[in-house]
Structures are given as structure tokens and as C-alpha cells.
Amino acid sequence: MTEWQWIFSALSAVVLFLFGLSGFSHELMTAGGERLRAWLGRATANRYGAALLGAGFTAFIQSSSAVTSLAIALVDAGVLGFRGALAVLLGANVGTTATAWLVSLKLTALGPVTLTLGALISAAAPARWKPAGKVLFYFGFVLFALDLIGVALAPLRDTPAVLDVLAQAGNPWVGVMAGIVITAVLQSSSVTTGLAVVLVQQQVLTPEAAVYLVVGSNVGTTVTGLIASLSMGSLARRTAVINTGFKLAGALMFAPVLVLFAQTVVEHSPTPDMAVAVAHLVFNVVSSALFLILLPAYAPRLERWALPASR
């Protein structure tokens, strides 16, 4: 395979992954979007319940961007309270770590079976089962595309020029900035984290560099919410800005110990690729839990800043 062939193979696999994620999220939102809106609307009373809902649904649909955009839209519509929205957004940070676990646990091997089963259900099952078949099909599509990415990127380990470029991600600041930019461009932290784990599995990227990338992806993913809020009211826009502030604060909180954090996780993880998933989970759980615990203390100030804009 020539250099151009594997480049286009890798790009095609990434495009398929994005298409699968989009279809999976769309089918789930179509099937249960109204129910989710109702649940989110009632989530304002308990910040921990709202955070769990945000985490669970984000893990389920594999898209923190979709949940973030929905939460901001519901704030704009007055369905979701400001404090409840903050808790949902913090929970979504944790839920987005599911992609890294799917890849590190080698669940991508289930892709062809899941895809085929979903296609059969969509085509031959009774009408009431067809939506579930579509969800299953796209979930299998996501897993299958991740597997294709791994196959397409395998030749990179024998390409010195590419290895030299990727070696720059071993610098924490370069790695974090690369994660921010890649995620902002692709509009999906799931793609960035999935790619990071696959590159580690193919021995193209060090696990420490992959950790820096996924930390950056947490900040880059806020671009989707910011863009979505531009067409909404001032309260929604400021909620999106606050969400970006959460992500930046989390990254800055870990900045002084980021190298030590990455090294420690890698040393104590069973495999290098699982180290990336563990680091991604720990980073988001620690930062989100801290902000969630302190929410009653800082929420009133944020609320005073955000709410006057909506009046």
C-alpha cells in the first residue's frame, strides 16, 4: 500500500466513524429525545441526579456534544434550569469517556456482528422493533469504523516522518493543544479519544502523549456548544461560555501535575491503551466531582452573571 493509499484509507475510516456517531446519536435522539427532554426538565431539583443523567445519556449516545447542545437549547427554551444545566454538563464530561473504554477493551471486534444484526432487525422485524434495529446498526457501524481506523493506521509505525511529527505530542503543551485543535475541527471528542487509543494500540503514539491529547479534547469539545448557542438567547450563550470555563479550569487544575499524572496512570495500568481510558476517566471524574460539590457555592454568582442577560 502506497503512502497516499493508507492516508486516504485512514481518512475514510475516520469519516465512517463520524458518520456512524452522527447516525447513532440521531437515531437515539429520535427514539427517546422527548423522554430525555422531560427527564432533563425534572433534573433541576437534584444536581447529582442531573449529573448522573448527563453522564449516562452521554455514555449511551457516545456524544457529549449532542447532550451539551441539547442542554443549552433547553436552557434557552426555559425547560431546563440554569443550575440543573450546569450539573448535566458536568455529568456529560464523565459520560464522554465511554469511547476510550470501548476501544481499549477491544469491543470493536463486535462491530460486524452488531451491524449485521441491526440491519436484519431494521429490514425484517416488525415496525415497533425497527428503531431499535437502526440504533443497533449504527452502534455496530461505530465499532466497525473504529476497527477500520486501527487497520488503516497500522502502517504508521513504519513511517519515520509521521513518527517524528507524532513524537511532538510527547510535549504536554503540544499534546494538549493538538487535542484542542483536532477536537474543535472534528466537532467530536469521541473521535479524538478513539484515535488516541488506536494509535497507542498500533504503537504509533506513546500512552503519555495520548493522555495529553485526550485532556485537550475535553476543552476542544466545547466549540460545538459555543457554535450551537450563537443562534440562541444570551442565557444559552453564557451557559455555553461557562461550560467552556469548566473545561479550561479542569485542564488548568491538572496542568502542574499532568506529566506525573500521565506517568503514574501508565505505570499502574494493565496495558498502555487502557492507561489512556483510565486517565481520561480519572481526569473527568475528579474535575467534574469537584465542581459539582462546589456548585452551591459558585452557582449563585454565575447565575447573577448569566440571568440578567436573558431579561
Say if CB 156 and CB 201 are below 8 A apart: no
Q: What is the DSSP letter of 81?
A: -
At residue 266 the predicted structure's pLDDT band, cuts being 50, 70 and 90, is very high
Q: What is the DSSP letter of 129?
A: G
Say if CB 288 and CB 94 are below 8 A apart: yes
**Cell for 225?**
456548544
Structurally, how many domains does the chain consist of? 1
Q: CA nearest 78: which of 233, 238, 240?
A: 233
Note the pLDDT tens digit of each residue in 146-169. Answer: 778 777 766 766 666 666 666 777
The torsion angles phi and psi of 271, rounded to 5 degrees, stand at: -140, 155
Confidence check: pLDDT of 191 > 90? no
Say if CB 288 and CB 51 are below 8 A apart: yes
Residue linked to cell 494493565: 270
Of the listed ranges 15-24, 213-222, 250-259, 301-310, the one predicted with least confidence: 301-310
Say if CB 227 and CB 307 are below 8 A apart: no
Q: CA nearest 194: which of 21, 25, 73, 26?
A: 21
At residue 86 the predicted structure's pLDDT band, cuts being 50, 70 and 90, is confident
The pTM for the full model equals 0.78
Q: How far apart are CA 152 and CA 7, in angstroms?
A: 8
Domain that holds residue 39: 3-310
- Given this model, what pLDDT does residue 184 score? 84
**Cell for 211?**
493522555
Residue linked to cell 479524538: 192
**Cell for 96?**
464522554
> Which runs of consecutive H residues, i.e. helices, occur in the chain?
3-41, 47-61, 64-77, 82-95, 98-104, 111-124, 130-153, 160-167, 172-186, 189-201, 207-220, 222-229, 234-254, 258-268, 272-293, 295-306
Residue linked to cell 465512517: 16
Confidence check: pLDDT of 309 > 60? no
Of the listed ranges 53-67, 154-168, 259-273, 280-294, the one predicted with least confidence: 154-168
- Given this model, what pLDDT does residue 311 score? 47
Q: How far apart are CA 287 and CA 84, in angstroms?
A: 17
Q: How far apart are CA 68 and CA 80, in angstroms?
A: 12
The torsion angles phi and psi of 79, rounded to 5 degrees, stand at: -80, -35
- Given this model, what pLDDT does residue 259 score? 93
